[in-house]
A and B are shown apart, each in its own frame.
Chain A
Amino acid sequence: MSAWATQSWRLFRHELKRGELTIIALALIIAVASVFSLSGFSAQIKSALIQQSNSFIAADRVLQSSRPVEEKYLNKADEMGLQHAQLLQFSSMVFGGDDMVLASVKAVSNGYPLRGSLLVATPDDQNQLSVGSVAPPKQGSAYVGQSLLNNLNLNIGDRFELGNSEFTISGVIDKEPDASFSVFTSGPRVMIHVDDVPATDIVQPGSRLTYKYLFAGDAIVEYSEWAKPQILETQRFRDIKDQQSPLANALNRAESYLSLASMLGIILAAVAVSVASRRYGQRHQPMVAVYKSIGASASFISKLYLLHWGALAGFSILVGLIIGYGIQYLGIQFMADVVPGVSLTVSAYPVLVAVFTGVICAVAFAITPLRQLIATPAISVIRGFAGFERAQSWLERTPPLLAVVLLLWLFSQDLLLTTALMLGAGAIIFTILVLGHVLINAGRSVGSQAGQAFHLSMANLKRRAKANQVQLVSFTIAIQLLLLMLVVRNDLINEWQAQLPQNTPNQFLVNVSQTQVPAVEEFLHTQGLAASDLYPIVRGRLSAINEEQVRRRVSKEEEDASEQGRRGIGRELNLTWHQKLPSENEVIAGQWFNQDNPKPEVSVEQKLAERLQVSVGDELTFQIGSETVSMPVTSIRTVNWQSMQPNFYMIFSESVLADFPATYIAAIYVPALQKTEFQTFLQDYPTISIIDVDAIINQLRTVISQVSLAVEFILILVLIAGALVLVAQVQASMEERERELAILRTLGAKGSLLANSVLLEFVILGALAGLLGSLSMEIGVFILQTQVFDMSAAIHWQYWLLGTVLGAVIVGALGMASCYRLLKLSSLTLIRRTL
């Protein structure tokens, strides 16, 4: 082995054993371990949650169209080894005995559902009904909703007619995995086999049909990438997260949170590496000077340190991967009970990202300190070492900055978010530097009038202003990011819980006729059931805006053909009238209806208004049945579509719709204990349909609590990374203090005075960092909540106090712990170590 390699290996071995490389190795290890575990773990959790949530759409992806899709979509799926199934949905009259009812028919192919299970009550050998997961109905038979049996007075085994075919009822649907969240689904459910549809002769040119193609399997992402660019505007290709539902929302936000947490984990680890690598350089300077003084060449030193650093980085990355795997293993063990489907298979991607992170951190953060180290002149053995005191030039700061940007971008694949994070961080650092300077200066003038220890600590803070600013920045960043994760997590979880409060409506009453309204209201009142108002429903179509006809349908093919005419909605809308502004709605332009001045008015939902390009004052014309009505838009509303309430695009003043025949709808929360009374009451009104969303809500709650748990786990990992930054920084600054402590000690300063002054110095730094951290956290949270999480922003005063106190306590305690070790050394040892 060459001399440089021998030296390098020898140094590495001894230093590792003697704990001299602990902090820098730990910083790299944490960077690698956190990235590995975070990316691996969050990917696992995400895929398990999505897999589980995919049962809500019965597939991984759904392609929806009003016409059959081209064969290529199915052929490609076969080619890629995906499972697929087909659904055809339409409304049609069903005849049974002497009665008939408009049913919502769902024709399914074999294989349905691809995710989740179809629960149907079927008679067993003893003719007892039992609910179980079943395959789609066989040809000639059908599963139906309980309300169809009620409406048509039928039983299992009876037959009914649909179009030109007859079907035998073989079971009662208990739960469809992809049951609609929409309360406007008309009529009781009938489920038949898709191969029976042609014989019914129902499907005719012009029929309103919805074709859904379900896809699931490992290659689904690749398939989506292939399919998405090809689908037409009239078709929709979606996954669970595209749904406008509380679940999709929770999943999307959890995903953003997990990514963000991982990114912040990277930043924290990077800060730790940066602090530690500087210290590494400083500590090795005397060695380089000695090597050079006894004749080692610059290339000898370069090779020695490249190997030394390489060995350190390689070792840390390896340990980081092992620890990261351990964390992931523990996390997944812990989550396995609550999130079925997580597995311990490690995919290559997280390993690659983690190794890459380690390498980038090791290279980018070490370039400048290593260069300075290698350049240490031999004369330093006589003159002493000053190389690291000078401020770094922008050129020297570039590699770490670039590295962080590269890592964030790699991790998030989102250039905008990365840029925003970096710019935000830059602004925050600048503010910290300025504020820190001002506060420390202000503190000093106070300090000169206070006690001895305080005076000494303030003098120290001021004297080391430059070093302290660096410390302040890293303390602040650590505290800020930790608070940020904590606050966003709390807000997310609170909002998720608020979305589904205990009395979230779990039953929808649909098709309530005008004459039944008083009876329903009376029942709700006597039972003390929480319910939304009863909303009348009238179906109508938007036909003109400001007397200009709107296009009926917008599709790619039709776009070129009919350039004229404004964009319309293309389907019938559920219109309602209401005197009060519904809860969860907010008027953002114009005025809600004036009760004292009844005149025709309409209030439009904000997003729809944007799409139709209408604003307050525009005149809308609707076709309702054979009549045409026109009225001005007097307000634009935002609607919380995630609330389990009847929500409407268009709400009219009473005078517009009062004379049209309407059915009514209401959302009710029926506690389990009152369900029997509820069902008994409804038996007297067989025409009222109920939509039971209890199961859906429970499932939602489960998923949300799982997501919350995953979020908590990630938070803990980020906390560890943050704590390391604090430890690394305190350690680094402690070494700078050693010499000074030695002098003061020699001059006869009492241990208690030194301890108090160091404690105070760290407490002040910690409190300051805590306060600045809270301040910058607030800015960060505001940006995140408004831009990333789409939540309403709020100020978190309580965290300001928490941040300041925690900063003071933690930084003070860490400082004291390191200082205590030094103060316990005898003066002689201290002097020998440092002078």
Chain B
Amino acid sequence: MLQDPDLILQCRQVTKQVTTGEKTLEILQPINLQVRPSETVAIIGASGSGKTTLLSLLAGLDTPSQGEIYLKQQPLHKFDEEQRSAVRAKHVGFIFQSFLLINSLTALENVMLPAELAGDSNAQERALSMLAKVGLKDRAEHFPSQLSGGEQQRVAIARAFISSPDILFADEPTGNLDSKTGDTVSELLFELNQQQGTTLVLVTHDNDLAAQCQRQLVMHAGELTEAVKPVAEVV
């Protein structure tokens, strides 16, 4: 089946099952999803509803049990780990709930990482400028353990945007932060997103955060539906 060239991300009948012992668990019911470039999409839902599983499939970290996923027209469901890695390197940025910075590298080196992987010779310059954008230029030489949670997430945001990804996946980006820091971080996230025109798919509990996205999808027991009511009433 041909993909729509206007879509950056497309899912058709994607399911995910896991087998534990003799039981097979349906984590995702057949899911269909289409995301246009520069769109911002929030996936909301209760814990265990399958939203993070979906995120990992969309980002090519995992493969679906059935169905098709196209990211930038590339059939992720057919790709092996190496090919999916290559897709991620070229098109994808990540922000995780637990920041996942490399503890043994400084803030600057963490931010440089994707640019260096892409063979960018100006990695350091660009990383410094990204750190400046997230307000951490003076903490460039600090190691993650020397930074607060909010600062670590800002470094993670800088790392996610440095390679100007086509699509950014954020998994509860404010989940580990207090509300004030969370607000600062989300502001920063949307600001950079707007500047770069990046597509954003974020998974969150936070209704306010979700409300800042153009679309809100609700995940409930493995089923994904477009939110028709205001977000606050759904969750």
Where chain A touches its partner, the secondary structure class is: helix
Within B39-61, the residues touching A (CB, 8 Å) are: 52, 55-56, 59, 61
What is the distance, in angstroms, from B47's C-beta to the closest C-beta of chain A?
A: 14
Within B99-143, the residues touching A (CB, 8 Å) are: 100-106, 109, 113-114, 116-117, 119, 143
Q: Contacts A6-B116, A298-B81 given; indicate if A382 touches B61 (C-beta within 8 A).
A: yes
What is the distance, in angstroms, from A302's C-beta to the closest C-beta of chain B?
A: 12
Within B121-167, the residues touching A (CB, 8 Å) are: 143, 145, 149, 159
B205 at the interface (CB under 8 A from A): no
A607 at the interface (CB under 8 A from B): no
Alpha-carbon distance A379/B145, docked complex (angstroms): 23
Contact of A297 among B55, B59, B85, B103 (CB under 8 A): B85
B223 at the interface (CB under 8 A from A): no
* Residues from chain B with Cβ under 8 Å of A11 in the complex: 102, 104-105
Alpha-carbon distance A29/B62, docked complex (angstroms): 40
Alpha-carbon distance A835/B97, docked complex (angstroms): 11
Q: Contacts A11-B105, A382-B52 given; indicate if A294 touches B113 (C-beta within 8 A).
A: yes
Question: How many B residues face the partner with a CB closer than 8 A?
Answer: 38
* Residues from chain A with Cβ under 8 Å of B101 in the complex: 290
B86 at the interface (CB under 8 A from A): yes
A3 at the interface (CB under 8 A from B): yes
What is the distance, in angstroms, from A781's C-beta to the closest C-beta of chain B?
A: 45
Q: Contacts A294-B89, A297-B82, A297-B86 given; indicate if A379 touches B56 (C-beta within 8 A).
A: yes
B113 nearest in chain A by CB position: A294
Number of A-B contacts (CB under 8 A): 88
A293 at the interface (CB under 8 A from B): yes
B88 at the interface (CB under 8 A from A): yes
* Residues from chain B with Cβ under 8 Å of A298 in the complex: 81-82, 85
Alpha-carbon distance A393/B171, docked complex (angstroms): 35
B53 nearest in chain A by CB position: A382
Instruction: Find out whether the CB atom of A10 lies under 8 angstroms from the CB atom of B56.
Output: no
Instruction: Find out whether the CB atom of B85 lies under 8 angstroms from the CB atom of A378.
Output: yes
Interface string of B212-224 (1 = CB under 8 A from A): 0000000000000
Which size bracket describes the interface of A in this complex? 20 to 34
Interface string of A1-36 (1 = CB under 8 A from B): 001001100110011001010000000000000000
* Residues from chain B with Cβ under 8 Å of A289 in the complex: 100
Within A366-421, the residues touching B (CB, 8 Å) are: 377-379, 381-382
Instruction: Find out whether the CB atom of B102 lies under 8 angstroms from the CB atom of A287.
Output: yes
* Residues from chain A with Cβ under 8 Å of B76 in the complex: none
* Residues from chain A with Cβ under 8 Å of B86 in the complex: 295, 297
Q: Contacts A297-B86, A378-B81, A381-B96 given; indicate if A3 touches B119 (C-beta within 8 A).
A: yes
Alpha-carbon distance A3/B163, docked complex (angstroms): 15
What is the distance, in angstroms, from A116's C-beta to the closest C-beta of chain B?
A: 61
Instruction: Find out whether the CB atom of A295 lies under 8 angstroms from the CB atom of B88.
Output: yes
Alpha-carbon distance A14/B119, docked complex (angstroms): 22
B171 nearest in chain A by CB position: A382
* Residues from chain B with Cβ under 8 Å of A300 in the complex: 117
Instruction: Find out whether the CB atom of B82 lies under 8 angstroms from the CB atom of A295.
Output: no
A463 at the interface (CB under 8 A from B): no
Alpha-carbon distance A381/B99, docked complex (angstroms): 10
Alpha-carbon distance A381/B61, docked complex (angstroms): 9
A286 at the interface (CB under 8 A from B): yes
A832 at the interface (CB under 8 A from B): yes
A106 at the interface (CB under 8 A from B): no
B114 nearest in chain A by CB position: A294
Contact of B92 among A10, A295, A381 (CB under 8 A): A295
Contact of A294 among B94, B103, B109, B119 (CB under 8 A): B94
A292 at the interface (CB under 8 A from B): yes
A802 at the interface (CB under 8 A from B): no
Instruction: Find out whether the CB atom of A296 lies under 8 angstroms from the CB atom of B94.
Output: no
Contact of B104 among A287, A379, A832, A833 (CB under 8 A): A287
Could you name 11 residue pairs across A and B whose Cβ atoms are closer than 8 Å?
A14-B104, A14-B143, A294-B92, A294-B93, A294-B114, A295-B92, A297-B86, A381-B61, A381-B96, A381-B100, A382-B56
Binding site for A on B (CB under 8 A): 52, 55-56, 59, 61-62, 81-82, 84-90, 92-94, 96, 98, 100-106, 109, 113-114, 116-117, 119, 143, 145, 149, 159, 171
